Chain A
């Protein structure tokens, strides 16, 4: 996308035409329509609603749900600083202030000339090369004061993004440790050929033998999911690759999509072969929009090679194709039923389960939703067989795991380990020292203290979707937890009462403590909110939202207590001070005229 759409290249009618006036494409239409003016004026929403024959209120409902859709004007340069804790640790707040000062604007407000707006956004998946930002959807990493100065100048000069220095937009893979998957050099189609040779049943049996479990965090057995969808009644089954990698601190899918896209798409075709699915979607998070052109190119070359389309690899009846569906800044869409709602062009609100997606998913059709890494790993199963795959890892966690390592270490990046690797080993490999804590699995994961570093990455011990954020002895774990609490409050979809109000209340309590107004009663209320969120929330977002607070309160309680005005009871009334007038009247100031209020003074 270009920076300054001075003359719109496309009209709204073109966009509606391109999407066949299909209401399930509403989110895609809104994303495209926003390119015309940089935001979505009210009359555009009315026109879109009329053209799709849906209520305008529904269009407004969707436009208001996603962070990257704007129903009010934003700058022609829209700068969003990534605000994960790792960005904060690298000084993103100072850089944001500096940029705003140089541009004479306030954070979060549009400049008077409409040129630029600067604010923050949730983790953009560049924790290994932060602090990071998105400018009109394009990612820039490795920000520092020099770069911020240059960016301010480029914006002031109104230089189109395409003419900004190319090295700004260079995103490194930072692969530091390779194992089975990242070492795989597979010609496109090799895994599919092997799976087709086994037949659909044989292939599913191979998957069963592999014990491959979902890499998105929940760890559900992939073969069981596939078999359920396969056995579910209904034609036109669907395979969805969940590339809505929004968990703060996770960026492995970014690397897989950037450099191993063939493995991911081949995995989707392998799933389609097992399930007899005909349609595939890659749900790409809005933050990774910049990957789309190269992903489309990979899809095109796979179609040309007969690896997508009709009669794949000459197999009659094996018809399957993939389209890319963009997200627009909503972490909750990583939840599979919210993702399906979003895929249908709706607000990303999690559905009531059951029915599960494998029975009733996209448009009511049986649907498999798998993580990017899970799908890529199925290539290994197809090539080497299920048993060979299951030979690495632990009893309940077969194969390897990609970890996205960031924070306080010498070499942040992607590390692939067999399951069962101890935390301590990982810390040693990435050059971390004086480590106080590790947040495994992102904001919704676990915070491990140093006495737990012998624990292992595995579903049966420390499960993870891949995030691994390291905090050394200089970090304050209260700040870490507070950043995550802010994240969940921002990302709550607002559907259910406990999560909508509870995350906002929790944010309020954490801010109260941060501002130095905390009392012990607040910790009791925080405990109560944590429990209610965990118990009563509609989906995993709400039930995971208190995790960072629960863990840090348990393991790093002094970080909270030192922020309390009083641990026990702090009287507002100072008895000795109240005697000041009496002392003055009697002209006494000897020790006998004072009340001792502190033990140490008695000596």
Chain B
């Protein structure tokens, strides 16, 4: 007999070792995420997947499911916390969606819509984060970085290049590239690297491809991030 836990009152089957998030998505229940990726080990930094399991707040992406657990996810309280976390991500960087070429394909923006984020609520930090346009094929706009470390992990674990790393601490944490000059052009980064194609927001952008898809046909124009991600999990 398969084991199961209850997600918002719905039974969700799981196999040993599966996390709450994995099991939920396979069963057709959406728990949001930004730093989680099915091909990588759980990271647990964005905290959007936060759920209440057996009364405790945990990251659904990093917590193995347990038989008989009652997990609360799609509730006003948890969604309120998620909206707050999204607002935090928006105010700590410089996100100008209307002029961003990732607009319509951006997971942060899509989650903002999904969780009905109407204002940024908190004061903006307006950090000073210069862009790096040195590379012939790729532009880095650090203003939009949310520190999911997917590029760090993809470059290190799949591309075998370790082009990216985080330095600094706390609110001053920031992305750096693997070159003494600090310029992407001086690394062995290539536009076909997984790391060049994994950013959920608009930091790593391919040059000469901006705004290629017209408004109305972009990833999240006609379908919510919820339905897109569930479709990915079921395929």
A residues bordering B, Cβ < 8 Å?
42-43, 45-46, 55-58, 60-67, 330, 347, 352, 489-498, 500-505, 508, 525, 528, 532, 535-536, 538
How many A-B contacts if CB must be within 8 Å? 118
B202 within 8 A of A: no
Considering the complex, give the chain B residue whose CB is closest to the CB of A63. Answer: B167
Min Cβ gap A550→B in Å is 16
Shortest distance between the CB of A314 and any CB in chain B (Å): 46
**Interface flag for B69 (CB, 8 Å):** no
Interface members, chain B 141-174 (any A CB < 8 Å): 146-147, 156, 162-173
Bound Cα distance from A576 to B44, whole angstroms: 57
Q: Judge whether A61 and B88 touch: CB under 8 Å.
A: no
**Chain A, residue nearest B48 (CB):** A497
Q: Is the CB of B47 within 8 A of A498?
A: yes
A56, B167: Cβ atoms closer than 8 Å: no
Please give, as numbers and ranges, the residues of chain A lying within 8 Å of B91 by CB-CB distance: 501, 505
Most buried by B among A57, A494, A525, A528: A57
A61 and B165 in contact, given A352-B44, A536-B85, A538-B44 (Cβ under 8 angstroms): yes
Which residues of the other chain, B, contact A500 by a CB distance below 8 angstroms?
92, 147, 170-171, 173
Which residue of A42, A55, A330, A498 is within 8 Å of B169 (Cβ)? A330
- A-chain residues with CB within 8 Å of residue B146 when the two chains form the complex: 497
Contact B123 A61 (CB under 8 A): no
Interface centre among A60, A67, A493 (most CB of B within 10 A): A60
Does B81 reach chain A (CB closer than 8 Å)? yes
B169 to chain A, nearest CB (A): 5
A55 CA to B177 CA in the complex, in Å? 10
- CB contacts under 8 Å to A, within B83-101, are 84-85, 88-89, 91-92
* Known contacts A497-B89, A500-B92, A535-B81; A352 and B42 CB within 8 A of each other: yes
A536 and B57 within 8 A (CB): yes
Residue in B47, B123, B164, B170 whose beta carbon sits within 8 Å of that of A489 in the complex? B170
The answer to whether A65 touches B89 (Cβ under 8 A) is no
Does the CB pair A497–B170 fall under 8 Å?
no
A57's contact among B84, B85, B165, by CB below 8 Å, is which? B165
Cα distance A535–B168 when bound, in Å? 25
Closest to A528 in B: B84
Question: Does chain A have a CB within 8 A of B54?
Answer: no
Q: Are B170 and A56 in contact (CB under 8 A)?
A: no
A-B contact pairs, 22 of them (CB 8 A): A46-B180, A55-B156, A57-B162, A57-B164, A57-B176, A57-B178, A58-B162, A64-B169, A67-B169, A352-B62, A491-B170, A493-B170, A494-B147, A494-B168, A494-B169, A496-B46, A497-B46, A498-B85, A505-B122, A535-B57, A535-B81, A536-B85
- Chain A's closest residue to B164 (CB) is A57
Closest to A67 in B: B169
List of A residues within 8 angstroms of B168 by Cβ: 64-65, 494
Does the CB pair A503–B42 fall under 8 Å? no
Residues of chain A lying within 8 A (CB to CB) of residue B225: none
B167 adjacent to A501 (CB under 8 Å): no
